[in-house]
């Protein structure tokens, strides 16, 4: 067994993955309606190219990018465009969206012709296919993948890390795809390594996934430069800066990016989307989503069309949901967001829905007792207790001085706080205030 790598800090919440870890990915019938927000990625907004009444097919371009740091958006069902206007977004705000009513035919638009031999394509040709397919980082950040694979001159990437850690409690979507599409995943990794021109590929898998470690070890075989790297089962082991530190002993500088230390990290779903775009000529149209939690009668991992409403998704699962639902979290319980309602769509970056029964207890919070547990657990080695107090009292210069912008919002501090303080929410408030002030000063 290879050396088990890890980082300093982190926590060990119950992972609750046993609920869905043995449930194979099950495709769901395309929905009768999809709502497709135009802003599903970090970067420039999209411009719609369809109007109400237009007929579309699966894969039809419905919105085009307005800048390099942006990706196109495609129809995920065939049918008629019902509206182009503001609809509710999972973040709790109304956002410009395209609504399509399905005709039930699921007719597909002819997209880019599949590559017969992907190895014959140049790095630029591969990136073009990825860009035109609308692929973004599917681990949560939703940064355009073609941009991430285009480091500026002088930023040589020598190490590509595939993130198979999936450290968030409850979520098993990437784990199931790793087991069920192992060979395709390895090919997707090879494509990314080819684009980057790097010779070292590390496949990071937490030790609580021995089946995935074995499957990847066999699939990688004797591929030059590829190595399966077990990492300790700990949260947030899947954070890209934490993986880089654990596996390479390199530290991403304050305000810096992984490319500053010669590394790049992508997750399982992203690598498989790259494979689908290049070898199958498919844009990013669907996502494997883990449906789990005490309020769900038939938890599992489901292949879902992007834009499907959460209420339709839950209704499509056999048995439906418990009558008493207290909270639905999109993503994992540590970094996910509580939904404002069920009439919001699945996004490109959606990897899970956790259903909690009613009532959801809200723990009382008390003044900080200076125990230091949040400091010990912080994977970025910040002082969460101090940052939270500074933000609470609007001491923005102190937030800057104590590196609020470096917070990855993992929630480890809040999880360990015996006083029940909402540390991560307060630090997030301070972080974004400082960042907004910085942007205003630049203007």
In the sheet that holds 46-48, the strands lie side by side as: 46-48, 61-65, 73-74
Q: Which residues have a Cβ under 8 Å from the Cβ of 402 and sit 6 or more positions away?
A: 382, 383, 386, 387, 390
Q: Residue 365's pLDDT is what?
A: 80
Q: Residue 308's pLDDT is what?
A: 98
What are the angstrom distances between the C-alpha of 156 and each of 126, 199, 240, 244, 258?
Answer: 18, 12, 18, 15, 11
Q: Which residues have a Cβ under 8 Å from the Cβ of 253 and sit 6 or more positions away?
A: 260, 261
Q: Which domains does the chain have, with CATH numbers?
A: 17-21+118-279 (3.40.50.11540), 373-442 (no CATH)
- Helix (H/G/I), strand (E/B), else coil: 117: coil
Q: What are the per-10-residue average pLDDT scores of the chain (443 residues)? A: 80 95 97 96 92 98 94 97 97 95 95 85 95 91 92 93 96 98 97 95 96 96 94 95 95 92 96 96 96 89 98 88 83 93 95 84 81 96 96 95 94 94 93 87 74
Single out the residue of 40, 134, 36, 41 nearest to residue 85, CA to CA.
36
Cα separation, 254 vs 408, whole angstroms: 12
The structure tokens listed for 17 are 């993955």
Q: Residue 1's pLDDT is what?
A: 43
Q: Residue 362's pLDDT is what?
A: 67
Cα separation, 203 vs 208, whole angstroms: 15
Angle at 136 between CA 133 and CA 141, to 5 degrees: 170
- Helix (H/G/I), strand (E/B), else coil: 183: helix
Q: Residue 359's pLDDT is what?
A: 63
* C-alpha torsion angle, residues 382, 388, 391, 396 (rounded to 10): -20
């Amino acid at each position: 067994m290879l050396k088990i790598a890890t980082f300093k800090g982190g926590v060990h919440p119950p992972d609750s993955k046993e609920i869905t870890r043995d449930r194979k990915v099950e495709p769901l019938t395309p929905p009768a309606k999809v709502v497709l927000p135009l802003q599903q990625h970090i970067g420039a907004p999209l411009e719609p190219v369809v109007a109400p009444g237009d007929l579309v097919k699966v894969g039809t371009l419905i919105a085009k990018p307005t800048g390099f740091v942006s990706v196109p958006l495609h129809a995920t069902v065939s049918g008629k465009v019902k509206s182009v206007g503001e609809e509710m977004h999972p973040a709790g705000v109304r956002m410009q969206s395209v609504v399509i009513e399905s005709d039930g035919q699921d007719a597909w638009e002819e997209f880019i012709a599949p590559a017969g031999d992907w190895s014959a394509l140049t790095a630029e040709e591969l990136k073009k296919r990825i860009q035109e397919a609308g692929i973004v980082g599917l681990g949560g950040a939703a940064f355009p993948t073609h941009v991430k694979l285009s480091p500026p001159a002088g930023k040589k990437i020598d190490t590509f890390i595939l993130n198979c850690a999936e450290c968030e409690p409850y979520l098993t979507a990437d784990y199931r795809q790793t087991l069920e599409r192992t060979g395709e995943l390895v090919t997707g990794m090879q494509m990314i390594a080819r684009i980057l021109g790097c010779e070292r590929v590390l496949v990071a898998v937490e030790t609580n996934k021995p089946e995935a470690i074995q499957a990847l070890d066999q699939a990688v075989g004797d591929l030059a430069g590829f190595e399966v790297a077990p990492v300790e089962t700990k949260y947030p082991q899947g954070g890209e800066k934490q993986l880089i530190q654990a596996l390479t002993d390199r530290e991403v500088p304050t305000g810096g990016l992984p490319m500053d230390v010669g590394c790049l990290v992508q997750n399982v779903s992203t690598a498989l989307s790259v494979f689908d775009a290049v070898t199958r000529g498919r844009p990013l149209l669907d996502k494997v989503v883990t449906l789990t939690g005490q309020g769900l009668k038939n938890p599992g991992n489901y292949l879902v069309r992007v834009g499907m409403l959460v209420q339709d998704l839950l209704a499509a699962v056999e048995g439906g949901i418990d009558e008493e639902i207290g909270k639905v979290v999109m993503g994992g319980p540590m970094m996910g967001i509580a939904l404002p309602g069920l009439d919001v769509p699945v996004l490109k970056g959606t990897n899970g829905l956790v259903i909690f029964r009613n009532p959801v207890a809200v723990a009382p919070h008390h003044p900080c007792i200076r125990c230091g547990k949040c400091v010990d657990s912080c994977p970025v080695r910040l002082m969460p207790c101090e940052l939270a107090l500074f933000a609470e009292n609007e001491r923005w210069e102190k937030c800057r001085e104590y590196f609020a912008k470096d917070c990855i919002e993992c929630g480890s501090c809040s999880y360990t706080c015996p006083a029940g303080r909402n540390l991560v929410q307060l630090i997030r408030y301070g972080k974004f205030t400082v960042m907004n002030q910085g942007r205003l000063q630049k203007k």
